[in-house]
Structure 1
Amino acid sequence: MSNQKIAVIGAGGHAKVVASTLIAAGHQVVGFYDDDPQKWGSYIFDIPVIGPVSKLTSQSCSHAILGIGSNEVRKRVAEQLDLEWATVVHPFAWVHPEVSLGAGTVVCAGAIVQPYSQIGSHVIINTKASVDHDCCVGDYVHMALSHLAGGASADEGAFLALGSIVFPGVRVGAWATLGAGSVAMKDVPPRTTVAGMPARVIREAPQ
């Protein structure tokens, strides 16, 4: 996938990381698209913020990628657009050949993904996050500096905050949040927020 011309959707902090990952991996970033008019005409790495997302078409680039940190927003934008999605791995990350990476997923610098793990679409495996063997990571998950132990899973839209750990075989439910520094020793219910060591529910799922 080298030398693809890729547009980045978003022009905030995470978009900068995504663009730097693309550049490090040898791709060309043709521009940023963001709905904040105050960003239009500005530059990131000497690359222009061209305009709103509505201006991005398949003629603007060969592929696109989402530089949006919010899982909910990333899903909404992905479902609205009919584009070819790029998948990118930073050259200072390590992903075993026996790993499946979905469309639009970003593996950042220092991250590790071990064999026979399955990573969904539009996932963020952020700086120094790690996924051990036989894990399953659903679409739109964001792993900050977190660790999934062997056989663990994070369902669609889950957010694993800085320093969080998921024990072997434990499942983090869809759209759940594992707080910073938390240790999940048992399954986390969907759409709940847990924190602590061991992690306990601090916010119930909405009714």
Structure 2
Amino acid sequence: MTKRHIAIIGAGGHAEVVASVILASGDSIAGFYADVPSLWGYSLAGAPIIGPVSEITSADCSHAIIGIGANEARKKFAEKIDMEWATIIHPFSWVHPDVPIGRGSVICAGSIVQPGARIGSHVILNTKASVDHHCLVGDYAHIAVAHLAGGASIDEGVFMALSCTVLPKVHVGAWATVGAGAVVKKNVDPHSTVVGNPARSLSELRSHAREVH
């Protein structure tokens, strides 16, 4: 396979993780681009932080990737910038060969993706995330050390925080947030936040608190 020379948007902690995946995969880093002038001229993961994101279209690279954890930011840059987006998969993850993965997605170390799953574009499967059989993961979603059980699905922009679980065949609507440690046993509305075990929305919790008092 031809070695890729990949430019990274972002220069924070997640960008450094993305850089580690690139290097572990045998590719190289063309440099980082971030809209933080105080970082320009410094280096990260052995590669220079070159300049603002607007300059990435003239970068000496074969591909680019967005190394920013915030889902909204990844969507903004993906829609604004015309690049050949790289999909990167850490060699210490396991992804079933029949699983389609959209462009710009990052599969971090320890992640597992089982047969029949589908992963969208610009998705983050963070360290030790797991996606079981026949799950659907929408574009710009971020699964952070969390688990999707068989047949579960999450729409665009969903954020699953540390140690949360979506049970089999349960659906999480677009741009919802699943709080750390939550266990999702029923469908989640778009743009809502659910927490706890069983997971409940913030409005449900406020209503329950009023009933108790």
TM-score of the aligned structures, taking structure 2 as reference length: 0.94
Q: Sequence identity of aligned pairs in percent?
A: 61
Supply the RMSD in Å over aligned alpha carbons: 1.1
The 2-side partners of 1:114 and 1:8 are apart by: 28
Structure 2 equivalent of residue 13 of structure 1: 13
CA shift, 1:49, in A, is 0.2
Whole-angstrom distance in 1 between the partners of 2:145 and 2:25: 21
Give deviations 1:9-29, integer Å, cap 9, x for gaps. Answer: 000000000000000000010
TM-score (norm 1): 0.96
CA distance in 2, matches of 1:58, 1:37: 18
Residue 182 to residue 2, structure 1, CA distance change in 2 (3 Å): farther
Cα gap change, 1:202 to 1:81, in 2 (>3 Å): same
Is 1:163 the equivalent of 2:169? no
Of stretches 40-49 and 192-201 in structure 1, the one that deviates more from structure 2 is: 40-49
Q: How does 1:1-207 map to 2 (within 5 A)?
A: 2-57=2-57, 59-202=59-202
Counterpart-to-counterpart distance in 2, 1:58 and 1:132: 39
Q: What is the distance in 2 between the residues matched to 1:46 and 1:59?
A: 17
- How big is the shift at 1:60? 2.4
2:40 partner letter: W
Q: How big is each residue's C-alpha offset from its partner over 1:126-183, in whole Å with a ceiling of 9 and x where there is no partner? A: 0000000000000000000100000000100000000000000000110000000000
- Structure with greater helix share of residues: 2
Hey, which bits of structure 1, 4+ residues long, moved more than 4 A?
none
Between the two proteins, the alignment pairs up a number of residues equal to: 204
In the alignment, structure 2 segments of 5+ residues that lack a partner are 205-213
Aligned partners of 1:107 and 1:125 also within 8 Å = yes
Larger radius of gyration: 2
Q: Following the alignment from structure 2 to structure 1, what is the Cα–Cα distance between the partners of residues 54 and 203?
A: 36
**Structure 1: stretches of 5+ with no match in the other structure:** none
